[in-house]
A and B are shown apart, each in its own frame.
Chain A
Amino acid sequence: MGHDAFQITINCLKLVVIFLMMVQAVPILVWLERRGSGFIQNRLGPNRVGPLGLMQLLADAAKFLMKEEFFPETGVKLLYYAAPAAALIPGTLAFCAIPLSTPVHIEAFEWLGQSWGPYTFLFQGFDINVGIVYILGISSLAAYVILMAGWGSGSKYSLMGALRASAQIISYELALGLSIVGVILMYGTFNLTEMINQQQGPLNFQFWGHTISSTVSWLPNWGIFYQPLGAIIFFAATFAESNRLPFDLAEGEAELVAGFHTEYGGFKMLLFFIGEYGHMMVASGLMVAFFFGGWSIPGVSFDQVSSWASGATSSSSLASIFTSLIFFVSFFVKLAVFMWIFIQVRWTLPRFRYDQLMDLGWKTMLPWALANTILSALFIFVAHS
């Protein structure tokens, strides 16, 4: 937590800010998704309310708040009301553990007649030594939310959707977990910050006692060059984990009306929505941290940015904050690219049939992920011998 009042306050504020950042990103993402899908499908999308249709979401939020409060007759009260609130928990907790930028160092300063010692604040909610294991564990709880909603609604469509979702998440969690074993082996750590630190600088690696570096000097030392197969399997499996098209069988509206949230309306429905976008943000953030160098900028080192920032500002605390913000922008740009890929894929690919979904998970992705694990282990064994 911290050693004094200042540190504890900042650390608690950080959690709130990250939560709000996640929730506030949703309206923008929804706008982007609706406008983007409009252009992809050669139509306009919402463009009437406010400039470029940006106010549409405020209007939608007002509509969601004023909708009729509805409870299905055969439902279970506790589960029905608990599910939408619980939908926010896994995404938020997982996103807090992803490092968003470099740590901020604050020099000792005088304030309110008291001297406050030097601090180091991490640019993330909290640092966990086994970050990956924690995030995977928390994300696996998301399936319970869907099951709670499906069972609590007391409707056949909801239950069918929930069952599909749980079967799908069990199947794809295996491929997801196995696809990052190669990453863990390569970096030799579970800690996301350490992983990102190892991806700094230009491309170079140790092989049989020789240091091999690439001839192109600006090529960054990113995980994607070492684990391309792992990256592809991981990204595909996260689509299934966050119930996005082409894997959104849990709500396949042609067969199940709307799947597990058929009986939900108004703000409760919106909470499921926010949960889904939260999952996408966690998946994109992990993708960036594992395979795309986290907050690093290709071709620009931390020292360069740091010295530039200290030249532009007066105190070293301000320079540190400035540096962190620059790297945060880099992280955010990468995150946005993956969010856009999520949206683009949704409006490009059709939905799988259920047996195709299961075949893909068990007969294609799982064997490839296993092969990737074994090959990575062999390669690392040879390279370090």
Chain B
Amino acid sequence: MKGFWAIILKEFSHIRRDPVTIFFTFMVPVIQLTIFGFAIDVTIDNIPLAVLDLDGRQDSRELVNALVNTHAFEVVERPRDAESFRRALTSGRAKVGILIPADYSERLLLREKAEVQVLIDGSDSQVATTALNTVNLLAMQMSVGRARTIGESMQVTAARNERGQASSPIEVRARLLYNPDLESSHFFVPGLIAIILQLVLLFLTSFSIVREREMGTLEQLFVTPVGRMGLLMGKLVPYAMMAFGELLIILVVMQVIFGVPVHGSLGLLLVLSGLYIVTVLGLGLLISTIARTQLEAVQLAFLIMLPSVFLSGFMFPRSEMIAPIRAIGYLLPVTYFVEIVRGVILRGADVVDMVPYILGLAVCCVVILSLSVRRFRKQLD
């Protein structure tokens, strides 16, 4: 134990003089605990719901209100026709669609069975299961309630009701879309594309520049007439190409090993992946303009990676997050790309469906690139 105190005191001197380490030890856990604690809420409510109410009368409104009152759903859209109803689902704006037929009220009045069609996006098995159970349970409750009311008004009781002949007045016909077997791999694997690409690219690009800074080779390059853009593009293009190759490998593995087919257009997927790759390269470049050492680059990359995993919707449904934390997700390009890969691969979404996410990603791309390119100077100060 000789020298124990000497080492301990020395270590604390190091720590005291290194504000970054202090920040990472004390502040980052607090921030992350708060953010992720709010984000990781396993009870699922506020599932985005699209309502196509062809009936529109009191009974159908009651049904919708009852759904909302479960807190499991939140009406995000009330499409007017079948086409926009379908779009609401393929675009991912709504995870559940409820279609109330035009004769819903009549049928109830005539004591015929009223069928309500419920379409559930099966991509996320967690959300889909909750939606399915809630809808079924609600339909049962409403049926029982209605049966009791009618029984009372007719001076009969349900208890001595006939078995087999009667059917519940409201029947929910639920259909799981996109991932009927509710396989969680179908949900996670496409999202993983976004996460893996970001992880690899962020480290590769930021390291490749910061390493040159650490080694002094960047300074040597600054003294040559190499152009700023020449240096920048020369450093980034090889990694963009590697990332694209990596993407192709992941897509093959996804289909062959996990059996997740690409339902939408492969071309669209590749073009948007290209946009994403460029954006993440910019993010890596941004890190390299801030970090002086490879260690700092790792720390900064983690600062981006953690919210990317937890807040982008990759792991936990974003509809569950409280607003300020959901807002953080909007700052991350990966949030938009997770939606894009899931939309195109699982739901067969097309460009029109993806417009908001493509716009979001494009804005991220422009902002990040212009910021990082401006920060990247061919000078030492």
A and B are partners in one complex rather than unrelated chains: no
